[in-house]
């Protein structure tokens, strides 16, 4: 090209430089994309490695109870914490035993502590079996036993940490318990080492995703223990058999009209039977009641009326009268039977088989035996105190014990027949009273 040609085309060098720049820019963009892909792969490998290392640490901590219970909780934002969606978990049903005397019922929702439920979740958090929080665990319980009531077969269900490597949606793997070569965590043994002495997990079972501890239960069985004394067992058994079948039990419960609108329940079994235990010639007996579900305080109301029949102050026919809600729409006022002797014995489900490892089962037997011996020792101490009580004549003077030559005796309250007592408001009266409150609440919200 001559000088004259160059002068005739002054923009040629500029176009060449622009083309070079565009080529270099395309190369750099492609290189950045390649580096981003490589960086993502490296981050994935690092995350996977950390998860495996942390999982091994969790496995070791769960297998060693002493280090498990003392292990520090991972704080939010801790660089060693694993996102919950990366943790293997499975849906599990737990069978729980508890001695209810010192607890304010099973449920923690009443905000009265201690409760059995709050103690169970403390143990789940300490053992790090709980993934996330209670809301994330799809938690359900079979029943809400009241303050002082015990259980040998309460059931709860929730997601727990697992060695299971199948995807969370693989329900068949969760039910069949495929865990590869590694065995599943011994949930019974691990949790019992973190629970107080009066609460124990006695079994666990894999559960399908649609399992619900309350609504999947088809039968519940209660036992109520009592001393025979002078009670008429045959009359109570005959009267108790009248509960069998489907009835409206609104006169045998505490009505909660805000949440419960149907008071019909089915009782499938009732029996009065003596136990093997006795004390100073007095026989320990039990009521056994079985049904699909029970109302609030239903068992204790039924037992209270049966005791009146056993004492001979009420007729067996009073059961029929109280079950006839058209004839008796309002519940007579009467005291509940004590809550301490009441036990939720078992909750039954289809296709749920609870298991317990041999080691955990042996620990449970040893624990229950030791606790039983401890309570027997306490009973012996009370018996010794009873024997050491001073005679009444040594504590009470003649002037205090008699008046005009007649010994003072505490008058026994006369029994008022149930059907002659003041009554509580009927269901219809309660709901009518509740409607204005709901309207006021809605008006305040609006």
pLDDT digits 0-9 by tens, 350-397: 989 999 999 999 999 999 999 999 999 999 999 899 888 877 665 555
- Looking at residue 28, its pLDDT comes to 78
Catalytic residue, candidates 13, 59, 146, 170: 146
pLDDT digits 0-9 by tens, 144-159: 899 999 999 999 999 9
Tell me the C-alpha distance between 64 and 72, whole Å: 14
- Looking at residue 396, its pLDDT comes to 52
Residue 23 domain-assigned (yes or no): no
- Looking at residue 42, its pLDDT comes to 63
Same domain (yes/no): 289, 221: yes
Does residue 161 register a pLDDT over 60?
Answer: yes
Residue 288 domain-assigned (yes or no): yes
Residue 51 domain-assigned (yes or no): no
Does residue 398 register a pLDDT over 70?
Answer: no
Task: Kindly indicate the confidence band of residue 278, based on its pLDDT and cuts at 50, 70 and 90.
Answer: confident
Does residue 167 register a pLDDT over 50?
Answer: no
- pTM value > 0.85: no
Task: Kindly indicate the confidence band of residue 12, based on its pLDDT and cuts at 50, 70 and 90.
Answer: low
**Mean pLDDT computed over 127-134:** 89
CATH number at residue 337: 3.30.70.660
- Looking at residue 180, its pLDDT comes to 52
146 is catalytic: yes
Same domain (yes/no): 235, 325: yes
Tell me the C-alpha distance between 29 and 127, whole Å: 50
The rounded mean pLDDT for the chain is 82
**Mean pLDDT computed over 420-429:** 93
Same domain (yes/no): 235, 341: yes
pLDDT digits 0-9 by tens, 308-331: 999 999 999 999 999 999 999 999
Same domain (yes/no): 363, 277: no
**Mean pLDDT computed over 25-49:** 67
Task: Kindly indicate the confidence band of residue 40, based on its pLDDT and cuts at 50, 70 and 90.
Answer: low
CATH number at residue 122: 3.30.70.580
Residue 407 domain-assigned (yes or no): no
Same domain (yes/no): 255, 330: yes
pLDDT digits 0-9 by tens, 55-85: 445 555 455 444 444 444 444 444 455 555 6
Does residue 43 register a pLDDT over 70?
Answer: no
- The percent of residues above 90 in pLDDT, for the chain, comes to 57
Residue 391 domain-assigned (yes or no): no
Same domain (yes/no): 369, 265: no
Same domain (yes/no): 372, 284: no
Domain count for the chain, please give it. 3
Residue 392 domain-assigned (yes or no): no
Residue 178 domain-assigned (yes or no): no
- Looking at residue 393, its pLDDT comes to 61
Range of the domain at 320: 217-349
pLDDT digits 0-9 by tens, 181-230: 578 999 999 999 999 999 999 999 999 999 999 999 999 999 999 999 99
Same domain (yes/no): 239, 327: yes
């Amino acid at each position: 090209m001559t000088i004259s040609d160059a002068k005739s085309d002054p923009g040629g060098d500029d176009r060449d430089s622009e083309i070079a720049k565009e080529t270099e820019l395309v190369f750099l963009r492609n290189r950045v994309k390649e580096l981003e892909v490589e960086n993502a792969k490296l981050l994935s490998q690092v995350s996977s490695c950390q998860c495996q290392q942390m999982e091994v640490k969790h496995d070791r901590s769960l297998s060693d109870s002493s280090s498990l219970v003392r292990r520090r909780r991972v704080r939010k934002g801790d660089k060693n914490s694993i996102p919950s969606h990366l943790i293997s978990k499975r849906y599990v049903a737990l069978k729980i035993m508890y001695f209810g005397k010192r607890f304010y019922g099973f449920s923690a929702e009443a905000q009265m502590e201690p409760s059995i439920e709050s103690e169970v979740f403390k143990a789940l958090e300490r053992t790090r079996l709980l993934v996330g929080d209670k809301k994330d665990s799809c938690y359900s319980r079979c029943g809400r036993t009241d303050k002082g009531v015990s259980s040998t077969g309460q059931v709860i269900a929730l997601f727990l940490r697992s060695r299971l490597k199948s995807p969370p949606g693989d329900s068949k793997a969760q039910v069949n318990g495929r865990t590869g070569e590694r065995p599943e965590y011994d949930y019974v043994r691990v949790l019992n080492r973190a629970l107080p002495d009066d609460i124990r997990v006695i079994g666990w079972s894999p559960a399908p995703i649609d399992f619900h501890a309350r609504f999947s239960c088809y039968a519940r069985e209660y036992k109520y223990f009592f001393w025979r004394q002078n009670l008429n067992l045959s009359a109570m058994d005959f009267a108790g058999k009248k509960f069998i079948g489907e009835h409206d039990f609104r006169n045998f419960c505490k009505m909660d009209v805000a949440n419960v609108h149907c008071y019909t329940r089915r009782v499938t079994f009732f029996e009065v039977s003596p136990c093997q235990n006795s004390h100073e010639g007095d026989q320990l007996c039990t009521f056994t009641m079985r049904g699909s579900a029970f109302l609030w305080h239903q068992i204790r109301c039924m037992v209270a009326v049966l005791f009146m029949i056993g004492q001979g102050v009420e007729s067996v026919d009073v059961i029929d009268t109280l079950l006839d809600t058209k004839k008796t729409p309002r519940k007579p006022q009467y005291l509940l039977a004590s809550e301490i002797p009441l036990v939720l014995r078992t909750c039954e489900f289809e296709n749920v088989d609870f298991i317990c490892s041999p080691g955990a089962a042996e620990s449970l037997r040893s624990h229950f035996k030791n606790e039983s011996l401890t309570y027997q020792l306490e009973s012996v101490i009370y018996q010794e105190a009873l024997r050491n009580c001073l005679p009444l004549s040594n504590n009470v003077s003649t002037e205090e014990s008699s008046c005009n030559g007649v010994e003072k005796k505490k008058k026994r309250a006369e029994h008022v027949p149930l059907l002659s007592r003041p009554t509580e408001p009927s269901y219809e009266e309660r709901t009518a009273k509740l409607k204005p409150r709901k309207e006021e609440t809605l008006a305040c919200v609006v």
